[in-house]
Amino acid sequence: MRYRLFFAMLLCAAIVASVGAAPQSGGLGTIGGQVLNADGKPAAGAHVIAQTSDGHHIESATTNTQGHFWVAALPEGQYDVRAFYEGRVSEWRQGVWVAPGEQTNVLLHLSRQKSPPSSALGKRAARRRGPATP
């Protein structure tokens, strides 16, 4: 009888310890933030893309009237984020970490000069095209 009680307690302790130590894999997080135009004002209607650092998983969002955006339900990992609006693009924010159940905030600034339309594409699309030929 004592052995049964001892093993039951040992089993419960092992289960509790393994659940507490388990990594939080498979959870989803959010990248949120704001896009500002070259004058520092919110860019309503700007498009934001978030892609994994290897360029495989691409998601997008559109900013609201205050220039805020949310790209939700992203698997945990590192993402590169960029905004574009009316031919202007922001810098790439690289290595933005997404953690399960959390929101990571970024601030993106659109350039003053218009860029060619292809500059708004994700890096994966640019790689598919290959190098420019003379």
Give dist(CA 114, CA 121) in Å, integer.
Answer: 14
CATH of the domain at 99: 2.60.40.1120
Q: How many structural domains compose the chain?
A: 1
Residue whose structure tokens are 């990248």? 31
Q: Give 113's pLDDT tier (boundaries 50, 70, 90).
A: confident
Q: What's the domain range around 109?
A: 28-117
- Predicted confidence (pLDDT) per residue in 65-90, tens digit: 999 999 999 999 999 999 999 999 99
Question: Does residue 9 fall inside a structural domain?
Answer: no
The pLDDT tens digits for 47-65 are 999 999 888 889 999 999 9
In a domain, 68, yes or no: yes
String of DSSP letters for 30-98: EEEEEEE-TTS-B-TT-EEEEEETTS--EEEEE--TTSEEEEEEEESEEEEEEEEETTEEBPPEEEEEE
**For residue 99, is it within any domain?**
yes
Q: Read off the pLDDT of residues 8-19 as tens digits, 9 standing for 90 and up.
A: 443 444 433 333
Backbone angles phi, psi at 27, to 5 degrees: -80, 165
Longest dimension (CA), the chain: 85
Q: Output the pTM of the full model.
A: 0.67
